Amino acid sequence: MKMKAAMLYGVKDLRVENVDVPEVDAGEVLVRVKAATTCGTDLKILQRGYIEKVIKLPTIFGHEWAGEVAEVGEGLGWPKKGMRVRAGNSAPCLRCAMCQRGKYNLCENMIWLWGAYAEYIKVPARMVSVNMQEVPQHVSYEEAAVTEPLACVLHGVEEARVKLGDTVTIVGAGPIGLLHLLTVKKIGAEKTIIIDVVKERLNLAKKLGVDEAINAEKENVVEEVRGLTGGYGADVVIEAIGLPATWEQALKLVRKGGTVLEFGGCPPGTEIKIDTELLHYGEVTVLGAFHTTPLHFKKALNLIASRTIDVRPLITRRMRLEDIKEAFNILSTSKSEIKIAINP
């Protein structure tokens, strides 16, 4: 049997082709993809490449998806054929030194699942057991697909220890910045400030309830954030872009004793400068956060299902799999699109 799939061959080389539907072995599950959502990481990989540890080319592209179980491998009591599910995009081994320390996101033997932009996706056995969930009837497939980025955000926000009453500044109003906004508001941030250079994104942030939106092209970001925080800076600053310049800018927006979460992944080989006084006299905590854990995937889907975190406003367009290249063109040029749902 053949299926349509978007194959990634290299930088800026994505092709929709007819490929074999994967065969299912014991413990594996074949899912008919019903919706896959685009991600900033996908756009980065397409435009500049990525580390081979995470993605080996050529491969079917895409990692945020949900669908309906089409085939269940031998030996599995769960899931059932026809069940609505989401899974992936990672499954830790639970045995390595990192897993044994509870750092499942840093697993030394992580398996990564690509292949969302296709009619079918095969879920490996380990992923079926540690990172696959049933999607409740009232949750759309495209909402369920957003479980992955939300899981990453939940992990980051937990690491940064955002608390009730905090002032939180978010650098970047793309999909990840906006998911951080929705999350810290639910945690009980007293004041939220978001920074971007795109007016349309700042407007969407306002619709989603941000207290202050700063246009970095028009305003002095450091002065504005200081002004909005009694001169001190924010309790927590979250960088959600992934550029050394904005990583450094984030350090200038935090109060003494505050926390900076450098969330966005920068291009390989890049470095930033940190003023030692900031860490010593300022007691600022600077954190990185990478990916997420199965527990956070579970929490993320539950929060989406209860609409505690309503991800629906982030899906701004729907397109067919055949038009995937056009979808990424739109994402790289349009100012108002956040996530596009691809319907294979």
Please report, as ranges, the residues that interact with Zn ion according to CB under 5 A: 39, 41, 64, 92-93, 96, 99, 107, 148-149
Count CB-CB contacts under 10 A for residue 272: 16
Do β-strands 111-112 and 59-60 pair in parallel, antiparallel, or remain unpaired? unpaired
Closest CA to 27 of 97, 77, 92, 91: 77
Q: How far apart are CA 159 and CA 342, in angstroms?
A: 31
Closest CA to 69 of 141, 148, 146, 156: 141
CB of 90 to Zn ion, least distance (A): 11
Closer to Zn ion by CB, 99 or 303: give it: 99
Closer to Zn ion by CB, 284 or 289: give it: 289
Closer to Zn ion by CB, 148 or 224: give it: 148
CB of 312 to Zn ion, least distance (A): 17
CB of 18 to Zn ion, least distance (A): 26
Closer to Zn ion by CB, 55 or 272: give it: 55
Provide the sign of the torsion angle of the four alpha carbons 204, 156, 31, 111, taken in this order: positive
CB of 300 to Zn ion, least distance (A): 11
Instruction: Kindly list the distances between the CA atom of residue 38 and the CA atoms of 149, 170, 216, in Å, as whole numbers in the listed order.
Output: 10, 21, 25
CA dihedral 287, 288, 294, 295 (to 10 degrees): 20
Closer to Zn ion by CB, 88 or 258: give it: 88
CB of 146 to Zn ion, least distance (A): 9
CB of 151 to Zn ion, least distance (A): 9
Phi, psi torsion values for 289, nearest 5 degrees: -145, 130
CB of 215 to Zn ion, least distance (A): 26
3-state secondary structure of 260: strand
How many C-alpha atoms does 320 have within 13 Å on its Cβ side? 4
Residue with tokens 């309906």: 68
Closer to Zn ion by CB, 24 or 309: give it: 309
What are 100's two structure tokens?
């044994």
Closer to Zn ion by CB, 92 or 242: give it: 92
Closer to Zn ion by CB, 41 or 229: give it: 41
**Residues forming beta bridges with residue 60, ordered by sequence position:** 7
Closest CA to 295 of 128, 106, 126, 155: 155
CB of 29 to Zn ion, least distance (A): 21
CB of 175 to Zn ion, least distance (A): 8
Closer to Zn ion by CB, 24 or 127: give it: 127
Identify the DSSP state of 118: B
Q: How far apart are CA 64 and CA 38, in angstroms?
A: 7
